[in-house]
Amino acid sequence: MNATLRPGRMSWITDPRSRRLLVLLALAAVAAAIPAAASPYAVGLTTRFVVFSILALSMDLLWGYGGVVSFGHAMFFGLGAYAAAITLSHLTGVSGTYLAFVIGIGVPSLLALGLGFFLFYSAVAGVYFGIVTLALSVVFETLAVVSRDFTGGMDGLYGFAIPTIWLPGLGNVEIWGTENPYIVSVVGLAVCFGLARWITRSSFGIAIRAIRDDEARLELLGYNTAFLKTVLLVITCAMAGLAGTLYTTVGFVSPQLLGVFFSTQVLVWVGIGGRGTLVGPILGTILVGFLETILSGEYENIWPLFVGLFFLAIVLFWPRGLYPFLERGAVAVRRFRRTPEATG
Amino acid sequence: MTAATSPDLVVSASGLTKHFGGVAALDDFSLAVADREIRCIVGPNGAGKSTLFKVLAGLLRPDAGRIQLLGSDVSRLNARQIARMGVATKLQIPRVFPSLTVREHLEIATRAGTGVPQLLGLRRRRESQASAALISELMTDLDLVRTRDRQAQELSHGQRQWLEIVMMLATQPRILLLDEPGAGMAGDEKGRTADLLRELAKRMAVVVIEHDLAFVQLIADSVIVMHRGRLLTQGSFDEISRDPQVGLVYLGSATA
């Protein structure tokens, strides 16, 4: 019983709860400063990457936590984008926008429900699930190209109504230009992140990780793992659909959004950022997004080569991704500071 | 076997047969276990012990035979349904969840069989005080308390075996099926495992497959010797260890 530091005496800055609040406030400040500080072009780019990071976040829940590898996760994003854009081609205004959100989230969720029911319940797992999603992506991309009247074919859809939402005190607000889409996307990301964090910290989140570790063992404890995986797939595809719906604020939807190449990019973002960390995939998406933009400006044709090499380097040196590496550094620093207390 | 009609019989299987290709892993095998007893199943490699457990747990469907657990017919139920009835199974290789902490193992085991709203914490669930008391007692006895926040992959082999047993107990089973619970443990760890099993048998039926006869001697009320999917003999440990037939098939092959 020597006079070491007691938790009650710790300064407020080392208290995890107030530190978390501080980090949140700092992030909010950065997010709020971007539209004022950056050029409209840069804000537009950031908006896209924020929307994409919602997709990466949902991929992380599915792959990083649940261990379910999908090579077609972007398909759910693209379906959401198309469903919302088609709705907005026929309906305008606030009610049209709300309906676009419902349909943009609902269509991918329903597909996920069907897939989960047919695949997980008949024990299609691992690589086979990945291959089925891959094949389905090709099917949907082809359908989008072929059915010109409905989807605009190769040219995609544009010229649909501007999404408009009603806000108390502000009335009807068009999600258009640079700032409004940016704000809506950041809010969307914050909501999805909160949701993802809540899910992963619940018993459901633990069960999902247990499925990744040893599905048969969890089943032997009395869990219906096929049902849990279906629920997880529906949640993550709803999130991907929301991201797709938010993407309509760009004003243009094309078949590539459904395709395999885009799905692979999502895997790369999650892999680089660090799967199973929630924060990592968001960082990965934004980092790789800007890297791609800069590289594609400098090297018009060979930029994917550099992104590929970057991915390889990450896989070789930090196989768990960038964020766990950063986190380990932070933990080491914290542990070093706390040593006298831990031994007391 | 007049016990077959006894009301406190929790496992009652008869005529179990399971073939793999041309080999009979189980050949008209029958088993009856009463509540609150420890039954050990011994036998040389390939005697059908592990197959028996997989059939009882619903992981393998027998070619023939009937299984009653806790008084109801489970022949058509799958592994999950049997687990929910109160049958906890540990297979030969210890299987815990490597990336989950000890605490997380107990959390999901306690909530096994509940719906997604309960898992998400949207709806509260009553938790059994008696079970919670037993778990915390065992966690202390087995020195698992101080590992509570460590991932299973950081634990020693023996600790993982114990964690698996404690996790199974958190599902509040009435029957424990344990395939080699003492495998790979050091001598003192085996002693503590034996104490643990005897303690558990005061509350539930415990069926143990074991190779180590010294360990069997520590725990078993009665021992079943299996050979080539059939019952060779059964009785107390002293009876079966004096049986020349057992020496021939079991000890003979073990020393060979």
Q: Residue-wise pLDDT tens for chain A (344 aa)?
A: 444 445 555 566 667 788 888 888 999 999 999 998 999 999 999 999 999 999 999 999 999 999 999 999 999 999 999 999 999 999 999 999 999 999 999 999 999 999 999 999 988 877 899 999 999 999 999 999 998 888 888 889 999 999 999 999 898 999 998 999 999 999 999 999 999 999 999 999 999 999 999 999 999 999 999 999 999 999 999 999 999 999 999 989 999 999 999 999 999 999 999 999 999 999 999 999 999 899 988 888 888 888 888 888 988 888 889 998 888 888 888 777 766 554 43
Please report, to the nearest 10 degrees, the dihedral formed by the alpha carbons of residues B244, B248, B253, B256 taken in order: 100
In sequence order, what are the residues at sequence separation of 6 or more whose Cβ sits closer than 8 angstroms to the Cβ of residue A99? A87, A91
Instruction: Tally A–B CB contacts below 8 A.
Output: 76
Q: What is the pLDDT of residue A20?
A: 83
- Label residue A20 exposed, middle or buried (CB < 10 Å: 0-12, 13-18, 19+): exposed
- Label residue A287 exposed, middle or buried (CB < 10 Å: 0-12, 13-18, 19+): middle
Beta strands in A63-169 (DSSP E): 157-158, 164-167
Contact A235/B at CB under 8 A = no
**Cα A122 from Cα A107, distance rounded (Å):** 23
A positions 149-208 inside 8 Å of B (CB): 198-199, 202-204, 206-207
**Cα A287 from Cα A273, distance rounded (Å):** 9
Distance from CA of B252 to the nearest CA of A (A): 35
CATH number of B9-99+172-255: 3.40.50.300
**From A326-330, B102-106, B167-171, the region with the lowest mean pLDDT:** A326-330
β-pairing, B222-227 with B205-209?
unpaired
β-pairing, B205-209 with B38-42?
parallel
Tokens of A196: 């993802």
Q: Over A161-211, what HEC string results?
A: CCCEEEECCCEEEECCCCHHHHHHHHHHHHHHHHHHHHHHHCHHHHHHHHH
Q: How large is the ipTM?
A: 0.91
Element (H, E) at B177: strand B175-179
Distance from CA of A339 to the nearest CA of B (A): 18
Identify whether the C-beta of residue A99 lies closer than 8 Å to the C-beta of residue A91. Answer: yes
Torsions phi, psi for B69 (to 5 deg): -120, 130
pTM for the whole structure: 0.91
Distance from CA of A61 to the nearest CA of B (A): 15
Chain A interface disruption, residue of B110, B116, B148, most A CBs within 10 A: B116
With contacts defined as CB-CB under 8 Å, which chain B residues touch A198? 120
* Helix (H), strand (E) counts: chain B: 11, 10
Element (H, E) at B131: helix B129-141
**From A31-35, B123-127, B138-142, the region with the lowest mean pLDDT:** B123-127
B positions 202-241 inside 8 Å of A (CB): none
Tokens of B130: 């008696």
Chain B residue closest in CA terms to A231: B116
- Which of A204, A214, A218 has its CB closest to that of B120? A204
Radius of gyration of chain B (CA): 18
Chain B residue closest in CA terms to A230: B116
Tokens of B42: 């011994």
- Label residue B88 exposed, middle or buried (CB < 10 Å: 0-12, 13-18, 19+): buried
B93-115 average pLDDT score:
93
Chain B residue closest in CA terms to A204: B119
- Label residue A149 exposed, middle or buried (CB < 10 Å: 0-12, 13-18, 19+): exposed
Tokens of A316: 């070789």
Chain A residue closest in CA terms to B54: A220
Q: What is the pLDDT of residue A2?
A: 47
pLDDT tens track for B178-231: 999 988 888 889 999 999 999 999 999 999 999 888 899 999 888 999 999 999
Chain A interface disruption, residue of B54, B60, B74, B80, most A CBs within 10 A: B80
